[in-house]
Amino acid sequence: MATLLFITPNFAAENTRPILTISGHSGATSEADEITYDQASLEAMMTASITTSTPWFDGTSVFEGIPLEELIGELNAGATKITAIALNDYMTEIPFDDIKANKPILALKRDGEFMSVRDKGPLFIIYAYDFKPELRTHHYYSRSAWQVAKLVIE
């Protein structure tokens, strides 16, 4: 008698794999805090979307994600910037003043679909480039890290 075994990928496990680490000081203690997030927990926090054109995609795209200001929450006590670190170790610094003034988001979705690593995901820092022309410069494009894996609050 033969037995047939079906093996299917565990899609639930993919959604629970950590994709983002945020580290820094909460200000409440001198100890460093570190929080990890999986795709499902970040998706539950999504509250913002930005419709804009970018230098990396043709036409206009709708990006959905979490405002950076909300995401870093109380970990920003006394800090002046975040450093975003991508999967390929690209790093960029974003001052808190910029985060407050320009409201970038940490996008998980582009045009309704989760972004794969091949599509600059799973996480991409996006500004509303079409809303504020002054954001359409190398200065701000360099802060728009894709494949973000870690945010360090400094």
Q: Is residue 122 part of a domain?
A: yes
Strands 148-153 and 18-25: parallel
Q: Is residue 68 part of a domain?
A: yes
Domain range holding 121? 13-153
Into how many domains does the chain fold?
Answer: 1
Q: What gap in Å lies between CA 17 and CA 149, rounded to an integer?
A: 12
Q: Is residue 116 part of a domain?
A: yes
Q: Is residue 2 part of a domain?
A: no
Q: Is residue 7 part of a domain?
A: no
Q: Is residue 8 part of a domain?
A: no
Q: Is residue 4 part of a domain?
A: no
- For residue 23, the domain's CATH number is 3.90.420.10
For residue 126, give the 3-state DSSP assignment.
strand
The answer to whether 69 and 131 are in contact (CB under 8 A) is: no
Which DSSP state fits 23?
E
Q: Is residue 3 part of a domain?
A: no
Per-residue pLDDT of the chain (154 residues; tens, 9 = 90+): 444 444 444 444 456 899 999 998 655 555 567 899 999 999 999 999 999 999 999 999 999 999 999 998 766 667 789 999 999 999 999 999 999 999 999 999 999 999 999 999 999 999 999 999 999 999 999 999 999 999 999 8
